Amino acid sequence: MNSDIIANKEYDPAMHTAEHILNQTMIRMFNCGRAFSAHIEKKKSKCDYRFERDLSENELKEIELRVNEVISGNHPVYEEFILRDEAAKHFTLDRLPETAGERLRIIKVGNYDSCLCSGKHVANTSEIRTFKIISSSYENGKLRIRFKLLD
């Protein structure tokens, strides 16, 4: 539901919550939408975005800075449930499984982000370590951002 396709050999709630923050940061900076594919693991993760180009070093640094500002803001991370009809007014439901039912789970990161998601998250952004972009690449309309959380 969240980034739609999440593979997770070593699931980590902190990394998953950081992915939510990265997605909202990409929306706010580039209006590109949430990642259409993500691979979230404890050691390192990646998100794929529909995009028109690679990012500059300055843009990557700005993304890191903004994500870390949200993390350090000690925002509560919590769930709410809303009816499918109401969710359709605010979220894209096209990748939602048929079995999702009429009450849908929304994960909120303070006032910064909210999205449909069925995964586990931290209770507060203070539980997330420092966000670091490892690299980015661009090919055929797909921007991939690889990241980790520093110890």
pLDDT means per 10 residues in the chain (151 residues)?
Answer: 44 95 98 94 96 97 98 98 93 84 95 94 98 97 98 85
Dump strand ranges (E) for the chain.
6-7, 37-39, 45-50, 77-83, 103-109, 113-116, 130-139, 142-150
Q: What pLDDT sits at residue 125?
A: 98
The residue type at 24: Q
Strands 6-7 and 37-39: parallel
CA angle 135, 139, 144 (to 5 degrees): 35
CATH class of 6-150: alpha beta
| Size of the chain in residues | 151
Q: What pLDDT sits at residue 10?
A: 59
- Within 8 A by CB and 6+ apart from 17, the residues are 77, 109, 121, 122, 125, 127, 128
pTM of the model: 0.91
- SS3 of 47-70: the string is EEEECCCCCCHHHHHHHHHHHHHH
> 32: helix, coil or strand?
coil
Q: Is 105 left (phi over 0), alpha (psi -120 to 50) or beta?
A: beta
